[in-house]
Amino acid sequence: MSNVIPLKSDKASVPNGLAALNAHVEKGMAEVNAVIIDKMQSDVALIPQLASHIIAAGGKRLRPMLTLSAAQLCNYRGNRHVALAACVEFIHTATLLHDDVVDESDLRRGNATANAVFGNQASVLVGDFLFSRAFELMVADGSLEVLAILSRASAVIAEGEVMQLITTNDTETTEDAYLDVISSKTAALFAAACRVGGVVAEAPRPEIEALDSYGRNLGVAFQLVDDALDYSSREATLGKSIGDDFKEGKITLPIVLAFRRGSEDERNFWRRCLEDLDQRDGDLEVAIELMERHRALDDTIERARHYGAKARDALELFPDSDLKTALNEAVAFTIERAY
Amino acid sequence: MSNVIPLKSDKASVPNGLAALNAHVEKGMAEVNAVIIDKMQSDVALIPQLASHIIAAGGKRLRPMLTLSAAQLCNYRGNRHVALAACVEFIHTATLLHDDVVDESDLRRGNATANAVFGNQASVLVGDFLFSRAFELMVADGSLEVLAILSRASAVIAEGEVMQLITTNDTETTEDAYLDVISSKTAALFAAACRVGGVVAEAPRPEIEALDSYGRNLGVAFQLVDDALDYSSREATLGKSIGDDFKEGKITLPIVLAFRRGSEDERNFWRRCLEDLDQRDGDLEVAIELMERHRALDDTIERARHYGAKARDALELFPDSDLKTALNEAVAFTIERAY
């Protein structure tokens, strides 16, 4: 347990829209953070240095919050959900590290990415370490059902990332193909995070399925909004840069809609920018203008509302409670952060 | 199960020195190959394409052979060792894919690397997929003890790879630091491969520990010889290129010994080539000459013999048998392939 690197306080990074949910899981999340700090340690000092760079950078910690709150919604009284929530965050962090290498990203949440600071090589290997560590934690928990859920989710995430790689620069990508990508790369872990909470609580199957459905639909809504935000202009408030997807030629729903709704001239613009990656000054502004003209951003958010509604309906199986209300508010936050 | 990509026959890739061991596990290895083909499939066609590129490229399949033969040495009569041997190979393959990205390698066993053919991005992501798939296979097997062994080994491998990254270009690296690297990045999986065989056979603890020790010492010997071969000239017969480690400034035992035994002028040569990576025509030839002058390659093989002897002694716990002889011959092969 050498080289202990502290995380900065996470309170600051909880947005208002998640405050109610956070209040319900605050004590558990403090324990989750302690597990994360403990388990990212290694005698190889570069590992906790790099891991803490990305983990401490904050983020909403939405996925482990979902594991804790799903367990609580099922009246779980034990403590296994804490370590498993940390596993979920480790898997997420490992995929972020590898994503940033694959995307050659320099910025994440307004901070330099781990690969920008420590190099691609270290990011790939520390991602592997965190992923292995997540499985060690699960093995220590001892539930084969949980291991099955999270190993399956991990394989599906990797499949989704490969699918995304294939659709990159392909302006013919359909909305359904895009949905396959985000269902795999994002929603699978949201679903698994929630399902694990129900499983440790030994909830009845219909409740576990409802939690899975809540997480899955929330995850799709989350990614849709994220993809719209990549073309919105609230860079300063979000600590996000805009236009990253455009620069990489990543095909997201705003592009899919604008391309399909556009004229042949417009389609040639999209092909030049996204297929040939021949981008000039002002192209991003033109892209955003075309998206606005064709309501591509608004309709991406509208699609997100559809999945948000499904997420809320999935929770209707549970009796009303403050926690259920907070989980519904998390759906609303996920979508409304677009404004 | 779409996109089934066949593996070419592996018989051709079994070297003479492993023929006896191969004869003992041949039937099991055919089943292992069938599991590998089956489990590397995905609806995302690029995954089996890339996976089969590296898996079908051959290689000795030494690690899964060790799992099968360790189980057989403990008189195992079941079939669980087959899927677990495939897990071991998947973990190995995932680390190879990531290694080649980290090392920016173009050639592996005389063939273009997956990253050279399919790109770094796909190699990182398909590595993640194979790694996740390995855990899915282990979960299907259902043994928490096996999961603990292989998740621990995976974390240790990642730690070893990060250690190697840190020692790269550092000519002050000690022999002990080098041994830490190869014990983690290579020997940990050899040990785990053997241990898993003993565990599924429900062998007595002393036998399991003996198998672990055999694998660990064999793994160290294997990597020592591999690192010597990177400076030997049998490129054509081995399908290996020489000088890759030198080009990258990777600090292996031949370097450690030649640097320490050399004059200050020679050390300045090593520093220029390996720290500054300022390499000129003829430098590799000079490096090999210096290694020969200081017996650095011979002594690296001599160190490997030491670990080989430990591996053989670990097996002495088991009664004599043809399989035990074959396992001892595998140790001899590992070392003698240097000549």
A7 in a structural domain: no
B271 in a structural domain: yes
pLDDT confidence tier of residue B58, bands split at 50, 70 and 90: low
Mean pLDDT computed over A26-37 = 95
Average pLDDT, chain B: 92
CB B213 within 8 A of CB B314: yes
Q: Which of A150-159, B50-59, B167-176, B177-186 has the lowest mean pLDDT?
A: B50-59
What does the alpha-carbon distance between residue A1 and residue A3 come to, in Å, rounded to a whole number? Answer: 7
Element (H, E) at A108: strand A107-108
> Residue B203: is its pLDDT beyond 50?
yes
**3-class secondary-structure state, position B45:** coil
Q: Which of A102, A135, A137 to mutate to test the interface with B (most CBs of B within 10 A)?
A: A135
pLDDT value for B239: 54
Residue A209, C-beta contacts closer than 8 angstroms, at least 6 positions apart = none
A5 in a structural domain: no
Which residue range forms the structural domain that includes residue A33?
12-336
B125, B148, B154 ranked by CB distance to A158: nearest: B125
A53 in a structural domain: yes
Q: Residue B125: what residue type? A: L
Predicted confidence (pLDDT) per residue in B36-55, tens digit? 999 999 999 999 999 999 88
Q: How far is CA B326 from CA B13, B21, B207, B308, in A?
A: 17, 5, 17, 14
pLDDT value for A1: 38
CB contact under 8 A, A151 and B136: yes
What does the alpha-carbon distance between residue B336 and residue A290 come to, in Å, rounded to a whole number? Answer: 67
pLDDT value for A282: 95
> Residue B2: is its pLDDT beyond 80?
no
Mean pLDDT computed over B284-308 = 96
CB contact under 8 A, A135 and B139: no
Average pLDDT, chain A: 92
Check if the interface score ipTM surpasses 0.95.
Answer: no
B31 in a structural domain: yes
B5 in a structural domain: no
B2 in a structural domain: no
Residue A117, C-beta contacts closer than 8 angstroms, at least 6 positions apart = A50, A53
pLDDT value for B238: 53
Mean pLDDT computed over A290-295 = 96
List phi, psi (to 5°) of B265. Answer: -60, -45
A240 in a structural domain: yes
Please compute Rg for chain B using Cα positions.
20
What does the alpha-carbon distance between residue A105 and residue A248 come to, in Å, rounded to a whole number? Answer: 10
List phi, psi (to 5°) of A22. Answer: -60, -40
A228: its two tokens: 């719209």
pLDDT value for B16: 78
Between chain A and chain B, how many beta carbons pairs sit less than 8 Å apart?
Answer: 129
Residue A136 near chain B (CB below 8 Å): yes
CB contact under 8 A, B102 and A124: yes
**CATH code of residue A156:** 1.10.600.10
A70: its two tokens: 């799903």
What does the alpha-carbon distance between residue B118 and residue B111 come to, in Å, rounded to a whole number? Answer: 13
Better-scored residue on pLDDT, A301 or B239: A301
Instruction: Work out the percent of chain A whose per-residue pLDDT is above 90.
Output: 81
pLDDT value for B10: 45
What does the alpha-carbon distance between residue B235 and residue B233 come to, in Å, rounded to a whole number? Answer: 5
Predicted confidence (pLDDT) per residue in A223-262, tens digit? 999 999 999 865 545 556 788 899 999 999 999 999 999 9
Q: How many domains does chain A have?
A: 1
